[in-house]
Amino acid sequence: MRSHAERGNDELAPLPVGRGVGVRAGFTTTLSIFPTIMHNKTLTELSAGLATGQYSSRELTAAFLARIQQHNPQLNAFITVTAETALAQAAAADQRRAQGQAGPLTGIPMAHKDIFCTQGVKTSCGSKMLDNFTAPYDATVVAKLNDAGMVMLGKLNMDEFAMGSSNESSHYGPVKNPWDLNAVPGGSSGGSAAAVAARLAPVATATDTGGSIRQPAAFCGVTGIKPTYGRVSRYGMIAYASSLDQGGVIAQSAEDCALLLNAMAGFDPRDSTCVDQPVPDYTAGLGDDIAGLRIGLPRQWFGEGLSNDVAQAVRAAVGQFEQLGATVVDIDLPHAPYCIPCYYVIAMSEASSNLARFDGARYGHRCENPKDLLDMYMRSRGEGFGAEVQRRILIGTYALSAGYYDAYYLKAQKIRRLIAQDFQQALQQCDVIMGPVAPSTAFDLGSHSGDPVQMYLEDIYTLPLNLAGLPGMSIPVGFGDNQRPVGLQMIAGYWQEGLLLKAAHRYQQNSDWHTKRAC
């Protein structure tokens, strides 16, 4: 991989797709060569090309499968590549278009984080525990994108059960950052961010429990959005911490995120946490002026612990917003120092409860030749879960145990309410809160492996948002001293995803950071 300064806008010729790692045997195709390489196009451009017949969905899908075969062995972004299924879906999309039944996403390839259940395809959650699990149904998000006519290229690597900030806890090995193969891509949606950054897929689904969309998007120089809690159905999305998890999107640009969120969002009666709230057309107001937008900068986020290169890139981006007519005010989030302990008590407690179902009795990994039922439970869980998942289950079980519930879990929930109130008060002074996504650019692989607390501190700016249930975004705004990407975090009030997307789109119309390519 080359530095961003060396890459420019040169184009890579697509390779024929053959039998590659994770690609189902028997798939071959020949690609036509187009004047502009298809993988560099945005969703809007891809949709327009399909509509005008510049290429078919089958040709487009084959081009992305070729890139997966070429680059995935280095990046390890995909757990499963569904080449045959993708080509069949592409052929169906082409037929649908020929019949005049195509929508804006019909025939466009994408990939799912391997936390979403996909009927007939392995859904592993990055864990040995579910290495043999084939989902019998589609998650609501998957079903909605299937209905929109999108083509699934495969399932993306992730931290085991979404627990991690580096994508190093996956049973299938770490994902590499396309900008620097020695760096982590962020987590837990590292596979989604790396795949989009390397243009192995134009867009990918992801989930965010404490920053797992925004942090990898920042580390990989792409755009990601976590909607308001309850905006996107969690049905069929394997749970880590049920009061914090939320599905979202990682893509090249805010416009791409808006297109996909249009198809994903909406009420689902099968999810008791999904809110019956009208969903606007997120693409409708993207071009609107942002003059008069009030930007709040939290004092607590620009002090000790934030690296200078990240701070400079973030402030430069805020300055660009000011040039577009926004105004800046300083705000306070007084309970910010308590976010890390509050979050991890709640998240680990909920993880302890949610992961109790994986006991070797019904599905998932089961140990060989158990002596009795207790031995089966203990060995199956000990063999099936990795070290980080075991650590979180143990801490969560302790926090929920008799004698400690009031001291830890109940107190954390009270602090959570104070953190949410901080945001509500701050958003009375401004329209959008902006700041860093992470304290630094992407760190080196293995550098935090022996220090879980240091790893947890990587989420210090992102996880307060999940405690409050607010929508947030990360957009690329430059590069750090080590030539690794920097992201800007943007936060708005409940159900204000449209405002975030509009502000991000206006910034991206006046900058080119989101167009930089890792490979």
Q: Which residues contact 94 (CB under 8 A, 6 or more apart)?
A: 56, 57, 58, 107
Question: Order of strands across the sheet with 472-479?
Answer: 78-81, 151-156, 109-113, 203-208, 246-251, 223-226, 472-479, 485-491, 432-436, 294-298, 327-331
For 84, the token pair is 């045959």
Q: How far apart are CA 500 and CA 484, in angstroms?
A: 24
For 254, the token pair is 């805010």
Q: By the 8 A CB rule, do 290 and 326 touch?
A: yes
Amino acid at 245: D
Q: Which residues contact 9 (CB under 8 A, 6 or more apart)?
A: 517
State yes or no: cis peptide before 56, omega within 30 of 0: no
Q: How far apart are CA 243 and CA 516, in angstroms?
A: 35
Rg for the chain, CA atoms, rounded: 22
For 67, the token pair is 């890139």
Could you give the count of Cα atoms lying within 13 Å of 387 in the half-sphere of its Cβ?
Answer: 6
Q: How far apart are CA 295 and CA 326, in angstroms?
A: 7
Classified as helix, coil or strand, 79 is strand
Neighbouring CB atoms inside 10 A of 394's CB total 12
**C-alpha separations of 428 from 414, 422, 502 in Å:** 22, 10, 20
**C-alpha separations of 449 from 80, 85, 306, 427 in Å:** 26, 37, 21, 37
Alpha helices (runs of H) in 265-408, residue ranges in sequence order: 308-323, 339-354, 373-384, 387-400
Strands 109-113 and 151-156 turn out to be parallel
Residue numbers annotated as active site: 113, 188, 212
Q: How far apart are CA 154 and CA 321, in angstroms?
A: 37
